[in-house]
Amino acid sequence: MTENGAKTDSHERALGKAVRPFAIESRRKESEVITSFVLRPLDKEPPAPHVAGQHLTLFADIGAAGRQKRNYTISSAPNGETYRISVKREPEGRVSTWLHDEAVVGTILDIAPPAGAFVLPTGDERPLVLLSAGVGLTPMVAMLEALAAANRRLPLQFVHCTQSNATHAFREPVRALAAAVGAETTFFHTRAGKEEVAGRDFDIAGHLTLDWLQTHSPIAEADYFLCGPRAFLRSFVPGLATSGVPAERLHYEFFGAVEDLFDESASAPPSAPPTAPTVAARRSRAGAGIARQAIGDALIDSPADAVVASDAEGAITLWNPGAERIFGFTEQEALGSSLDIIIPEPFRARHWEGYRETVASGQSRYGAGDMLSVPGLTRDGRRISLEFTIALLKDEAGKVTGMVAVLRDITPRFEEMKALKKKVAELQRPSEG
């Protein structure tokens, strides 16, 4: 489902023999923009096991572009023989375009084991609501297949949003699977064509709304699983949370900073990196005046911003006065502790998945100038809002040995922004009477 590019050498070395060659066994066009690829191991051994909802890491050799790495959600339930990925053609997607246009039956791809925590609960105590938009339905299809294969019958709603028949993938298979497990399906077409018929091609013309979910789904008791474009998640993750769905019942697949979903403000794009002559000139000036080491020591010793370093396992190795001021833990308390002490519990699984991926690959999705927004946890249990940047620490061989982050508490600004948005919403609300 999702394309995430990165250089691959260090990641493959870290994974070692876990990366295995697979061949495309078949391909199927699911819609005008989505094609499925069934992948079978060349060594004739079973593929690494997965749980419906997880993704795999794919390595592809693409001519002059070289070796490319991408993550794609597995769109099929485990069967012990193959994986299936269902890929949307992205206009600027190097790998998705190559898969659609050039990859054929027999094309060889290297595949790393599946990973991810976006999986169904093991018990059937609560109803399930699977919400998706666009190609975000791929993990939901896998989940539905897995439920049918296990003959698990529980109150289940499958709600999917797409533009029209042209973009609607897996419609009939989803209807058949839903019927097998007694689930209810609702399809929204936001741009239904004149030839499309309500009740046959879709159920509702237009956009899914929070009001519809509040009226037609069991807000008070269901587990909600959401996957789709950022705008879709921004609409419904915070909306469901404010409607009373607690964090432990709100699950979503999102590749980005968590608080992006709760704050509409976007980070400014990173500026271009300085040229080599510029860097050399700056270093020359520093050498003639203040030493770089002295500058670094001054920043680390400052109580203004938190500077926190951790090793490859996530244990804290540096804790400056700013970190003590912001989080409340002393240096003695923090050193050697897990980063979990400053990460709210609902966000830990996602954090560690990304952390391990970064250590293994030697590449971070962030750190190229991006300012990230995340929730933090203080010693006294308060939830705060943070902005931070990260840098990877590497040894001479290029292996990641740890990470260092510079963090700033922006809770007052975040609260002011929420209050301002609430005030604007109240002013825009039609007056009664």
Task: Output the tens digit of pLDDT for each of the chain's 433 residues.
Answer: 544 444 444 444 444 457 999 999 999 999 999 999 999 999 999 999 999 999 999 999 998 888 998 999 999 999 999 999 999 998 888 999 999 999 999 999 999 999 888 999 888 889 999 999 999 999 999 999 999 999 988 999 999 999 999 999 999 999 999 999 999 999 999 999 999 999 999 999 999 999 999 999 999 999 999 999 988 998 899 999 999 999 889 998 764 444 445 554 433 334 455 556 555 655 555 555 556 666 777 788 888 899 999 998 999 999 999 999 999 999 989 999 999 999 998 888 888 888 888 888 877 765 555 567 788 999 999 988 888 888 889 888 888 899 998 999 888 876 776 677 666 666 666 655 4
* 405 and 339 assigned to the same domain: yes
Give the pLDDT score at 206.
94
Residue 181: how many other CB atoms lie within 10 Å? 18
Task: Give alpha helix (H) positions in 51-124.
Answer: 94-101
Return the axis-axis angle of helices 292-301 and 276-288, rounded to nearest 10°. 80
Asked if residue 284 is part of any domain, the answer here is no
Query: Domain tally for the chain?
Result: 3
Q: For the residues of 280-336, what is the DSSP string, one character each? A: HHHHHHHHHSS-HHHHHHHHHH-SSSEEEEEETTSBEEEE-HHHHHHH---HHHHTT
Same domain, 332 and 380: yes
Provide the residue type at 262 as one letter. F
Token pair listed for 302: 């400052």
**DSSP state, 3?**
-
**pLDDT given at position 43:** 94
Residue 432 domain-assigned (yes or no): no
> In this structure, are 21 and 106 located in the same domain?
yes
Long-range Cβ contact pairs of 309-318 (< 8 A, separation 24 or more): 309/393, 309/402, 309/403, 309/404, 309/405, 310/339, 310/402, 310/403, 310/404, 311/401, 311/402, 312/359, 312/400, 312/401, 312/402, 314/338, 314/339, 314/340, 314/352, 314/355, 315/339, 316/341, 317/402, 318/404
Give me the pLDDT at residue 421, please: 66
- Which amino acid, residue 10? S
Write the CA distances from 245 to 80, 83, 208, integer angstroms: 35, 33, 18
Residue 175 forms part of a structural domain: yes
Integer distance in angstroms from the first to the last C-alpha of the chain? 49
Asked if residue 4 belongs to a domain, the reply is no
Residues 185, 219: Cα–Cα separation, whole Å:
17
- Looking at the domain assignment, is residue 17 inside a domain? yes
Distances 344 to 227, 341, 347 between C-alpha atoms, Å:
22, 8, 6
State the pairing for strand pair 108-115/55-62.
Answer: antiparallel
Collapsing DSSP states into helix, strand and coil, what is residue 412? helix
Judgement on whether residues 109 and 212 belong to the same structural domain of the protein:
no
199 lies in the same domain as 304: no
pLDDT at 65: 85
Model pTM above 0.95: no
Q: Which residue has the tokens 């009226």?
A: 215
Q: Which of 229, 255, 281 is the last residue of a domain?
A: 255
Residue 264's pLDDT is 45
Let me know whether 202 and 175 are in one domain: yes
For the domain that residue 169 is a member of, what is the CATH number?
Answer: 3.40.50.80
Query: Is the C-alpha dihedral spanning 43, 48, 53, 57 positive or negative?
Result: negative
pLDDT at residue 13, rounded to an integer: 44
Sort 382 into a burial class: Cβ within 10 Å, 0-12 / 13-18 / 19+: exposed
- What CATH number corresponds to the domain at position 382? 3.30.450.20
Beta-bridged to residue 84, according to DSSP, are 38
**Are both 141 and 111 inside the same structural domain?**
no
Q: Do the domain assignments include residue 152? A: yes
Distance of alpha carbon 128 from alpha carbon 218, whole angstroms: 9
Does residue 353 share a domain with residue 332? yes
CATH code where residue 16 lies: 2.40.30.10
Domain that holds residue 362: 290-416
Looking at the structure, tell me whether residues 250 and 133 fall in a common domain: yes
Residue 33 in any domain: the answer is yes
Structure tokens of 321?
């006065």
Q: In the chain, how long is the greatest CA-to-CA distance?
A: 76
Q: Do 248 and 300 reside in the same domain of the chain? A: no
Pair (59, 102) in one structural domain: yes
133, 94: one domain: no
In a domain, 3, yes or no: no
